[in-house]
Structure 1
Amino acid sequence: MEPSYKKRHPSLYLLKSNSSAQFMPAQEFELQPKGEAPGTAGKLPRDEEAQVTDGADFLSRVPFRDFQNRIRVRKSAVIFLALIISWLTVGFSVLRFKDSNLSLSKPASPSGRTFSIENVLNGEFSYYDTYFKFIRPGVLHQPQDNDPGLYLKIENKNGIPKYVAKQLVDVEFYKELGRTSFTYGDVEYQVSDFDVSHRLDKAILATDLEKKFRHSSTAYYWLKDIPTNTYRPISPFPEDGKLYKLSFARFSPHRNFVYFVYNNDLYVQSATNSQGFRRLTADGSEDVKNGRPDWVYEEEVLASDQAVWWAPDDSQIVFAKFNDSEVLTESVPTYINEQAYDDVQQIKYPKPGTPNPRVQLFSYKMSEGVTYSIPFGGETGGRILYAAQWLDNNHFMFKDTDRASQAMFVKIYESNARKVSTVRIINATAYSGWIEKVKDVQPIPPSEIHGRSELSYVDVQVDESGYPHLFHFKSVFASTGTQLTFGDWEVTGKGIVGYDQDADSVFFLSNRLSRFSQHLFMVPLREDSTKAAHGLQDPRDRDSFYEFELSVSCRFGVKRYLGPDEPMSDAGVLTSLLLNDQSRAITQLTSNAGMLEALKKYDLPKSSFSSTQLDDDVQIDYKETVPYDFDPRKKHPLLIHVYGGPGSQTVDHKFAISLEESLASSANAIVLSIEPRGTGGRGWPYRSWAKNKIGYWEPRDIISVVKDYVNKHSDSIDPDHVAIWGWSYGGFVTLKTLELDQGQIFKYGVAVAPVTNWKYYNSIYTERYLGLFENNEKAYEDTSLIKDVQNFSSVKRFLLIHGSADDNVHVKNTMQLLDNFNLNNVKNYDLSIFPDSEHSIVFHNANRVVYERIFNWIKNAFEGKLDNLSW
């Protein structure tokens, strides 16, 4: 349940198609539940800088230049002047949407037209971004003059979709790379993934892809020679001509090599010579995985299907070995097959108090053909490897923690000397926190122009006030760094998104303007950079949520506007993207005609943000969504949506037409999405409430906020029809709230895939927040356990949902709870088990069915149809 990147699940995400599937026949969309609840303008106060709205003052603080004209400047005064002129010429262009002027806050249609979950499931609010991917050179840094903005896209001319390479700097540049299907041995294969070298001579293709877990899959992989249009299977046995399903296949940075994993062993081969073939490991098995993570590392730590890191010059490789021989096995049965007996999937799944995976690091130099061990303590299972990356061709950084994730050791492996040094230690207890998935650091090369003689890097680290900020470490061996950003806000999202070596500045994402939004900022590395982080977007656009992806030089980028209005993605020169400058070369990536038509047909609910000050002076944020034609003099049912996981963020300014909006529209419901203490976006002073106490504050905060809201809006709320729902961690919080409330406020509840006993969940996630079981038995047995099950009899009715093949939150959680209900004569619940569905519940049309069931169940509850059912 790592909060920083997945599994938040409490609401239905806006239907966004897979952009790579745009050339395929029309198909029913698979929806993924989502934990963020988008919204509109937030009004909460921020720091003094974030409240700046004067355009002239804003311009005076931005050290930027016109990337499109490639002005080569070195002095900050010239940079200031260049951007001021550019901005004054173009003017501020607040939210632009080329296809529409619709707004969630100002619907264009008259009242009276509602929509339901069926309209969402049928794809009426769908949009997709066309396939776009930067083709990156094999370097860590690049001057802007050397960056043509090379990118890969799919074009569908004459009904024949093809991969093509184009340039943002030269609109005439065009090279066909091949169709999205090909024939080999009289069999036609459909391409599901395509990665091309920056020389445009080789490509790796994936076909017949089968999803395994969240990030992992197996597929056939092919190496294509583009000039000759020939295909060669990537195989551990290249001589036999057969096809083998691989865990993955990738290029090395300079595309000189192809590396892949087959049957948990790591292989490397030449990208140009079929004879250049090496098998790096030979002990791969179900218990030993080389170059790819096991289940818990894939899910909770690396968020990737691979654990291989190449030196930038292709000279050497570091890979991890995960040994699960001591890890206990969870059996996940599957039932839907043609066999007389059930299948059983065996997953190595560590739980609190049981052995963790043992992890080893190895380096392999291509010129020597020798493998070296890199010791760090993970070999015994007592340490967790959280991050790893090359800073240059000799220095490899990795970060590991103790089992409970309380202290992180930052280490440097010097490849030439084969030496490991611990350069600094991050003690999370100093800010009453924990270590979780970390962001990549940004290597900074030596530069005579900028007065740096050594390799350095910028990292995200918690400052003395408890907020994640940027720090510049002026040597790879430095124990302390110079703080670059300051304030009661966080570096968010992907964190650092690029380094511009011409301006000697780092680009990053943050919520400085509003804790519900996200924008692009930059900070120079000069010595006098205290409080010098500069917003690169109009500060009057404070309530928008953006994501950015930049080319290596930072000259070009992809800007994704995610809300509060309808989403839009563009690619082009970064300066033009930041200025919303439609007079320049901007490529619109979003296709949203269907969504725009739907937005004209229906009246959208209205959203706003607010907060409640509790008796202990803690401020709890929430988002309020009301029907379009809301009448405060009439009684409305109230739905509470929650996730609440440590460090997660549910309330933000992203756009969504989801389950909650559907119920606000068709059931005339008021919906509150609540951010209890322990969640993210507000620094560790707020997040640390969750330490050792998950399941304690969340229900208390939710009950307090809802009680206060109902009291203040008594004329508008029907107190007999108040419900709460959540998915995954949100399902757990839903049950804890019903347990504590005992039907006083909440009459109904829906819990999907909930954890009911944290001793059943994986060790890395659980021990990060609750500590080791032997050190915090009370939290495991009291605070976080669903144990007072007799309290559920006081609720009018509630619904439990789980997928039988959930590899993440095992159905054992729900089964144990049901047994406790039987023992305590609790009968007032409904149950839906989805055969062979995993955590997202998508198997065999389950995705549609589960949302229809939740929607109709809550709507029936609000209409009183569940009140007189007997059990």
Structure 2
Amino acid sequence: MSKRDSNNGNSNFNVEVVQSNQELISEKRLGRKRRIIMITGGAIVFIVGAAIVAALVVLSGSSNASPLEKEAKAISLEDYIDGRLNPKSFNGTWISGNEIMYRSQNGDIRVYNTDTLNHEILVSFHATPILPRAVDYSLSADRKFLLVAHDYQKIYRHSYVAQFTIINLKTFGTSSINVNGEVILQLAVWGPVGNAIAFVARNNIFYQPSAVSFSKQLTVDGHIGNVYNGIPDWVYEEEVLSTNQALWFSPDGKKLAYGKFTDTAVKIMTLPVYGEPGNLDFQYTKAVQVRYPKPGTKNPLVTLHVADLETNSDIELPSPVNIANQEPILAAVAWATNDIVSAIWMNRVQNEAAIVMYNPSEPVSMLVINNMKQSNGWLELFTPPKFSKDGSKFLIIQSQDQENGAGAYRHLTIYSTSSNNPGKPLTSGLYVVTEILEWDEENDLVYYQANMPNASEVQHVFTVSTSSLKTKCITCNMQTLSKKLSCSYNSAQFSKDLSHHVINCEGPNVPETTIFSKNKMIDVWESNPELQSLVRNVRTPVIEKLKFDVPGGFKANVMLKLPPDMDKSGETKYPMLVNVYGGPDSYQVVDRFNMDWGSYLAANKTIIYATIDGRGSGLRGDKLMFSLYRRLGTVEIEDQINVTRQIQKMLPYVDETRTAIWGWSYGGFASGMALAEDTSRVFKCGISVAPVTDWTLYDSIYTERFMGLPTPGDNEKGYDNAKLIEKYEGLRHKNYFLVHGTLDDNVHYQQSMLWAKVLEQNDILFRQMSYPDEDHSLGSVRPHLYHSLEQFLDECFIDNEI
């Protein structure tokens, strides 16, 4: 995404750029594995009009292309579906200051030493029969044992059940973690000291003081579907914690904090399971039951506990008074010291929060560090605080007001833990901090990731001094290794002592991963040579970025994927497909490498593929993002329609009679709403995959964050206005394709069934595809899905073929 605010500029963003010694790796050493597709034109093109500024980045189709490139075939649908266009990324875990553990291509678990550049086998692929079935592995703190998860079965987005086996790294003997012979577990994690283990079975927490000792049960009230200890229920997994883990060891491993989620009052959603054809076990349809809270209904009751692993005591920690009577949400947990644990609590609709420090002894002491309120939006505080070594300070990302009426932007903020205080911003300016990486207290530096003023599409790695507030950019001069092309979207992972780090150049070109010692590059982890070769020898889209005015003084960011070698004179008209997501704080226009279905359509089907980040999107401050607060389905939909209309009028090669829109999940809702609200026929047809059609049917924590409650005293009118199922008349005489999986635990099939029922009752013709027993991702039917979508688009665009 690109961002420009002519009134404020970048006066608050004074950054020193750090030079990296990439040249120390010789071109000869890089060899073929380091080659990357050449960008033949890196020019910035500005198309000046009433409301448009465009930046052009050419990825292919240049007049300087080699004969092979000019005659190359386009990327195929199979290239996309089979994953051949997906780059490999960093697949290691730092286990010391100079060592990375990883799984090699042949399945060995190995350790790479950044000082010697040697790769040693920790466990051979053939050493035990469980490694071929492994889905995850981790090393004990004392490095004597390896914990392997295998025979995995997915539950929801992050959760699964599996068997967990411990491998003795000296003898290579194995032992299975079990409870009375039951080997199917929901979670198993090492403690931070020695080789202690905490694990969850049948919603109860167990603890083993060592890998070879017997386990003891810490909780007894766990019950599948009702009470969850140490693991989240469905809504906390999906919307709050974004993981299958809800337990946290103290740094010395002597205490264990955990969340308890009581779902007995949460209503059940029943999802049908049809089974395999011909299987008599499914002669009668079966069902999956999910405790799924919807807006205005009962949420899970959450409590925070600390178990003392030496005394076997268990203490419940109270939520703060100002939150306790507002159906509290446990947003994040982190230990400050061996004895002090912190929690972030939020009220039900997530516009109030409290950061709390606890001493979990009898009686429990509690200190509220800060109470926060957001009157015109929501709070986003789901990342645990990062504490100093002595626990006296911590870092979070928090919205901070900027100068000249620019509003608030999310910035790095430091707090003291000694008293109630408002915190001190360490960074400032018209940009957004996206992640806190590490805190180097010895050198007074915090490493973090952020975009830049007027350039929300980029992401770089920075440092800031907590004392002087001086900021440095670590990756602003990063380039690809062989062709010296720009790396404008970067991320990093640091070693245990911060002496080494990995830099991931994620785009806009084929990604590369390199290893640094301080600011000196010492090795290349991944250069994606196969993907480089594939992209170099096929026709790929040309990417063009643009900006358009939208109401409120904002700009919409637009990215177009254009057919290679297209005629831009206007003599030839090309169909266009708009891919919309549009949800609050979402974004699509970034410099990350992404060869998706739209890339295939642009290169192979000569369809222009557009994405539009308008009002409500993230990375550009709270004012823009909060534009849709309590009114989903309004401004973000208006911007999709109006910006598309502007694209049609400003670009002579876009065929305004052959423009379509499609989206998935929130994007399915947005595409349906755009088609229904489009009174001037901007879109000829539309596709909704797994759409929300009525926000009272989606989950409570997500929906209420942005909409409040669906009650007359709160925001009933906002919910009513956002009901796609009430917009049926807008689809009359329009081409519409509705797609959904019947076993979708996230956006239930119910949403599409009620939408289809309304359309049918009102005699509105549409096309529908239902995928039996498929979840939200439609993962096992992708070929059929994309062939179906492509056929629909062919029919939509057939009137005026190029």
What's the counterpart of residue 726 of structure 2?
A: 787
**1:125 Cα deviation from its structure 2 partner:** 2.4
Does the 8 Å contact 1:111/1:628 carry over to 2?
A: no
Using the alignment, how far apart are the partners of 2:800 and 2:263 within structure 1? 50
What's the counterpart of residue 32 of structure 1?
A: none
2:441 counterpart of 1:501: yes
Scaled by the length of structure 1, the TM-score of the pair is: 0.81
Using the alignment, how far apart are the partners of 1:498 and 1:548 within structure 2? 10
Q: Secondary structure in 1 aligned to 2:732?
A: helix
CA displacement 1:773-816 (0-9 Å, x = unmatched)? 11101011123443120210132x11110000000000111000
**1:427 Cα deviation from its structure 2 partner:** 0.8
Matches within 5 A, 1:439-458: 439-446=383-390, 455-458=392-395
2:313 counterpart of 1:370: yes
Using the alignment, how far apart are the partners of 2:293 and 2:418 within structure 1? 34
2:304 counterpart of 1:361: yes
Q: Secondary structure in 1 aligned to 2:725?
A: coil
1:856 corresponds to which of 785, 791, 797: 791
**1:173 Cα deviation from its structure 2 partner:** 7.2
Using the alignment, how far apart are the partners of 2:450 and 2:422 within structure 1? 23
CA displacement 1:187-207 (0-9 Å, x = unmatched)? x96222211124321111111
Using the alignment, how far apart are the partners of 1:189 and 1:720 within structure 2? 53
2:56 counterpart of 1:119: no
Using the alignment, how far apart are the partners of 2:116 and 2:477 within structure 1? 32
Q: Secondary structure in 1 aligned to 2:533?
A: helix
Cα distance, 1:123–1:457 mapped onto 2, change above 3 Å: closer
Q: Secondary structure in 2 aligned to 1:351?
A: coil
Q: Secondary structure in 1 aligned to 2:737?
A: strand
Does the 8 Å contact 1:663/1:859 carry over to 2?
A: no
Using the alignment, how far apart are the partners of 2:527 and 2:220 within structure 1? 46
**1:864 Cα deviation from its structure 2 partner:** 3.3
1:692 corresponds to which of 606, 626, 630: 630
Identity value in percent: 25
Matches within 5 A, 1:729-768: 729-742=666-679, 744-768=681-705
What's the counterpart of residue 354 of structure 2?
A: 409
Matches within 5 A, 1:601-680: 601-614=537-550, 616-632=552-568, 633=570, 634-680=572-618
1:421 corresponds to which of 367, 388, 393: 367
2:253 corresponds to which of 306, 309, 314: 314
What's the counterpart of residue 398 of structure 1?
A: 343
Q: Secondary structure in 1 aligned to 2:626?
A: helix
Residue segments in structure 1 that go unaligned for 5+ positions in a row: 1-38, 53-57, 65-82, 137-146, 447-453, 867-871
Q: Which moved more, 1:764-773 or 1:775-784?
A: 775-784
Does the 8 Å contact 1:644/1:698 carry over to 2?
A: yes
Using the alignment, how far apart are the partners of 2:573 and 2:671 within structure 1? 24
Using the alignment, how far apart are the partners of 2:318 and 2:562 within structure 1? 57
**1:233 Cα deviation from its structure 2 partner:** 0.8
What's the counterpart of residue 525 of structure 1?
A: 466
**1:270 Cα deviation from its structure 2 partner:** 2.0
What's the counterpart of residue 323 of structure 1?
A: 262
Does the 8 Å contact 2:414/2:424 carry over to 1?
A: yes
What's the counterpart of residue 347 of structure 1?
A: 290
Cα distance, 1:227–1:615 mapped onto 2, change above 3 Å: closer
2:654 counterpart of 1:717: yes
In structure 1, what residue type is equivalent to 2:371? I
2:144 counterpart of 1:208: no
Using the alignment, how far apart are the partners of 1:90 and 1:245 within structure 2? 48
**1:175 Cα deviation from its structure 2 partner:** 5.1
Q: Secondary structure in 2 aligned to 1:666?
A: helix
2:500 counterpart of 1:556: yes
Matches within 5 A, 1:204-283: 204-237=147-180, 242-275=181-214, 277-283=215-221
Does the 8 Å contact 2:109/2:125 carry over to 1?
A: yes
1:599 corresponds to which of 535, 541, 545: 535
Q: Which moved more, 1:97-106 or 1:830-839?
A: 97-106
2:59 corresponds to which of 105, 114, 118: 105
Does the 8 Å contact 2:247/2:256 carry over to 1?
A: yes
- Calculate the aligned-residue CA RMSD, in Å: 2.8
Q: Secondary structure in 1 aligned to 2:256?
A: strand
What's the counterpart of residue 24 of structure 1?
A: none
**1:610 Cα deviation from its structure 2 partner:** 1.0
Using the alignment, how far apart are the partners of 1:480 and 1:380 within structure 2? 23
Cα distance, 1:603–1:87 mapped onto 2, change above 3 Å: closer
CA displacement 1:587-623 (0-9 Å, x = unmatched)? 3234431x22321332211112111113553311111
Using the alignment, how far apart are the partners of 1:854 and 1:592 within structure 2? 31
What's the counterpart of residue 73 of structure 1?
A: none
2:429 counterpart of 1:483: no
CA displacement 1:328-369 (0-9 Å, x = unmatched)? 000011102422111100000000111000011111112211
Cα distance, 1:735–1:87 mapped onto 2, change above 3 Å: closer
Residue segments in structure 2 that go unaligned for 5+ positions in a row: 40-57, 403-407, 480-485
Does the 8 Å contact 2:509/2:593 carry over to 1?
A: yes
Q: Secondary structure in 1 aligned to 2:601?
A: helix
What's the counterpart of residue 100 of structure 2?
A: 151
Cα distance, 1:197–1:468 mapped onto 2, change above 3 Å: same
Using the alignment, how far apart are the partners of 1:855 and 1:374 within structure 2? 54
2:276 counterpart of 1:333: no
Q: Secondary structure in 1 aligned to 2:456?
A: coil
In structure 2, what residue type is equivalent to 1:624? L
**1:853 Cα deviation from its structure 2 partner:** 1.9
CA displacement 1:635-686 (0-9 Å, x = unmatched)? 1111111101000111111111111111112221222200120110001011
Using the alignment, how far apart are the partners of 2:654 and 2:117 within structure 1? 57
**1:503 Cα deviation from its structure 2 partner:** 1.1
Does the 8 Å contact 1:359/1:381 carry over to 2?
A: no
In structure 2, what residue type is equivalent to 1:424? N
In structure 2, what residue type is equivalent to 1:150? E
- Residues paired across the two proteins, number: 749
**1:279 Cα deviation from its structure 2 partner:** 0.3
Using the alignment, how far apart are the partners of 2:23 and 2:117 within structure 1? 27
**1:865 Cα deviation from its structure 2 partner:** 9.6
What's the counterpart of residue 44 of structure 2?
A: none
Does the 8 Å contact 2:272/2:743 carry over to 1?
A: yes
2:444 counterpart of 1:470: no
Does the 8 Å contact 2:107/2:132 carry over to 1?
A: no
Using the alignment, how far apart are the partners of 1:124 and 1:298 within structure 2? 30
CA displacement 1:465-521 (0-9 Å, x = unmatched)? 3101111113353422221101000001xx111111331210000002620010000
2:730 counterpart of 1:776: no
Does the 8 Å contact 2:664/2:689 carry over to 1?
A: yes
Scaled by the length of structure 2, the TM-score of the pair is: 0.88
Using the alignment, how far apart are the partners of 1:49 and 1:553 within structure 2? 34
Cα distance, 1:571–1:849 mapped onto 2, change above 3 Å: farther
In structure 2, what residue type is equivalent to 1:475? T
Does the 8 Å contact 1:504/1:524 carry over to 2?
A: yes
